[in-house]
């Protein structure tokens, strides 16, 4: 026995309601991707600064103990510990964005199936996807580039 007070939706209303829900979900996932990008860059920049000061302290400690001369740079194995840590954090950020992007594409595909309003969407170019990943990977790459510059500049 059905409740007579609830109105029954016809197929067009169901499709329109489904599309509204998908649009809302699409906006939420897009917002999530922007927040991951924002916070990922913030975390990586903060880590980069913390690692810089940590490397400075390690070098001063090594110079104080006599295991390193004052004009020498930090040993490469000590330097790359921080670089590897930056790489791991940046890969985690890339993974989070990739998961959200897959969810976004899945919702968008569902939305294009119904498309009651006839709105056309362009495809996201692969270059744009890689640009987002490069934002995160730029931190460890820049760290490596600085180390190489220091290594070859001092010789």
**Could you read off the pLDDT of 67-89 as tens digits, one per residue?**
989 888 888 889 999 999 999 99
Least confident of 10-19, 28-37, 65-74, 144-153: 10-19
**Could you read off the pLDDT of 73-132 as tens digits, one per residue?**
888 889 999 999 999 999 999 999 999 999 998 988 888 877 766 667 667 677 777 888
Per cent of the chain over pLDDT 70 is 88
Closest CA relative to residue 74, chosen from 51, 54, 58, 87: 58
């Amino acid at each position: 026995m059905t409740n007579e007070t609830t109105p029954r939706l016809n197929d067009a209303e169901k499709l329109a309601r489904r599309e509204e829900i998908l649009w809302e979900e699409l906006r939420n996932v897009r917002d999530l991707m922007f927040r991951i990008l924002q916070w990922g860059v913030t975390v990586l920049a903060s880590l980069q600064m913390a690692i810089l000061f940590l490397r400075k302290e390690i070098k001063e400690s090594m110079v104080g103990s006599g295991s390193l001369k004052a004009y020498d740079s930090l040993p490469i194995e000590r330097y790359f510990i921080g670089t590897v840590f930056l790489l791991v954090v940046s890969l985690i950020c890339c993974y989070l964005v990739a998961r959200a992007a897959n969810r976004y594409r899945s919702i968008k595909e569902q939305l294009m199936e119904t498309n009651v309003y006839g709105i056309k969407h362009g495809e996201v170019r692969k270059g744009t996807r890689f640009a987002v990943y490069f934002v995160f990977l730029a931190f460890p790459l820049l760290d490596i580039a600085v180390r190489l510059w220091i290594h070859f500049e001092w010789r």
